[in-house]
Amino acid sequence: MFSFCKKIGTFTTKRCFSTLFIAEHNNQKLASSNLNGITAALRLNEKIDVLVAGSQCSSVVEQVQKTFPADKINKIFVFDHPSLEHQIHDHLEHAVYKVIDDNSYSHVLMASTTFGKDILPRVAAQYDSQAITDITEIQGADTFVRGTYASNALAVVKSSDKIKFLSARTTNFDKYSGPEGNISAVEKLDFEPIYKSLDQSKLTTFIKQELVAGDKPELTSAKNVVAGGRAMKSAENFKLLDDLANALGNCAVGASRAAVDAGYAPNDYQVGQTGKVVAPDLYFAIGISGAIQHLAGMKDSKVIVAINKDPEAAIFQVANYGLVGDLFKIVPELTEKLKAGK
């Protein structure tokens, strides 16, 4: 197990420390959020370990090997077992315990996604530590910045826990884009003895998974996002946003919580404090008033364009460009002009 001492900014660690990153994947492909998460992990250490746990997940291991050079990833720990296929928390957490217990980690980090929010607090509790979630900056080995009050204020958190359990807000860390590599240090671990030692009657049972197929990029990684609010009036009208997204290219469709609660859009479209946090190059807020809860999920976008019939809507206070008018006239016209310009 690799560990060392280093200096982060003006902060010098008082002891050697090492970092474990827990990878999110679907057994075939590494989630794009890992590229941001590993960037955050590399702020703690110049070289980290990665845990890949799943079923028939060799292609994920190969992707990690090819994406990151050996001078960034020290070792890849792999659990490959049928019970880990769906990465259910009360199965997966025991794989994490095994790796942590066998290695002297000072930091365990994940991307701040639904997966990370499901796993990290459970693991942290096992070690009587606090999960420091959604960090936006690493100031030192024990000092981190995270948003509070819907990200309207920043809290500097200093942890004295022996092991720091962290999740990184992906929009605040760039995707890893360094040199590619071919990591050979892969350690395969046996999950079968661990699985047999668990009380099977208390484990969560996977029943089914319903996936909605689509041709648009993932909301949190799309270069452009078109989001609609309650003013869209119906799920049928959300098709206007699909047309605009297609015209823009590399564009995902999002929604405010009000639109989701009204049944206009599915839950995985929700952007905001209780939804997904995005920071695309271009964000269209269409028929969205600009409630503080929604702003918490998109205010870091590079360019914000607001379309709303109310000139006093709060969204215009954060928008770079604003159009006051009927969205049902503006959006189709804008879509046609974009198509004509291509």
pLDDT, tens digit (0-9, with 9 covering 90-100), for 191-203: 999 999 999 888 8
pLDDT band at 340 (very low <50, low <70, confident <90, very high): confident
CB-based contact 47:73 (threshold 8 Å): yes
* Domain co-membership, 45 together with 177: yes
- Judge whether 22 lies within some domain: yes
CA distance 314 to 295: 10
* Domain co-membership, 17 together with 123: yes
pLDDT digits (tens, 9 = 90+) for 253-272: 999 999 999 999 999 999 99
* Domain co-membership, 168 together with 315: no
pLDDT band at 212 (very low <50, low <70, confident <90, very high): low
* Domain co-membership, 176 together with 43: yes
CATH of the domain at 308: 3.40.50.1220
* Domain co-membership, 139 together with 238: no
Strand, coil or helix: 317: helix
Q: What is the pLDDT of residue 10?
A: 40
* Domain co-membership, 119 together with 263: no
* Domain co-membership, 55 together with 144: yes
CATH of the domain at 95: 3.40.50.620
Q: What is the pLDDT of residue 242?
A: 94
pLDDT band at 147 (very low <50, low <70, confident <90, very high): confident
* Domain co-membership, 113 together with 246: no
Judge whether residue 342 has pLDDT over 70: no
Mean pLDDT of 147-163: 90
pLDDT band at 221 (very low <50, low <70, confident <90, very high): confident
Mean pLDDT of 49-74: 93
pLDDT digits (tens, 9 = 90+) for 5-39: 444 444 433 335 699 999 999 999 999 899 999 99
Residue 186: Cβ within 10 Å count: 17
- Judge whether 36 lies within some domain: yes
* Domain co-membership, 191 together with 232: no
By CB atoms closer than 10 A (0-12, 13-18, 19+), residue 265 is: buried
CA distance 328 to 234: 12
Which of 156, 171, 202 finishes a domain? 202
- Judge whether 326 lies within some domain: yes
- By mean pLDDT, which of 12-26, 66-80, 173-187 is the weakest? 12-26
* Domain co-membership, 18 together with 120: yes
Judge whether residue 165 has pLDDT over 60: yes
Q: What is the pLDDT of residue 213?
A: 61
- Judge whether 215 lies within some domain: no
Q: For residue 323, give both structure tokens.
A: 């159009």
Residue 146's φ and ψ, nearest 5 degrees, are: -140, 155
* Domain co-membership, 12 together with 161: yes
Average pLDDT for the chain: 90
Q: What is the pLDDT of residue 214?
A: 65
Chain position carrying tokens 């679907």: 26
Judge whether residue 235 has pLDDT over 60: yes
* Domain co-membership, 139 together with 270: no
Tell me the pTM.
Answer: 0.83
* For the chain, percent of residues with pLDDT exceeding 70: 94
- Judge whether 216 lies within some domain: no
Q: What is the pLDDT of residue 3?
A: 42
- Judge whether 309 lies within some domain: yes
Residue 124's identity, in one-letter code, is A
Q: What is the pLDDT of residue 225?
A: 97
DSSP string for residues in 198-266: S-GGGS-----------SSPPTTT-SEEEEE-GGG-STGGGHHHHHHHHHHSSEEEEE-HHHHHTTSS-
* For the chain, percent of residues with pLDDT exceeding 90: 74
- Judge whether 213 lies within some domain: no
- Judge whether 211 lies within some domain: no
Total domains in the chain come to 2
Residue 58 is part of which domain span?
7-202
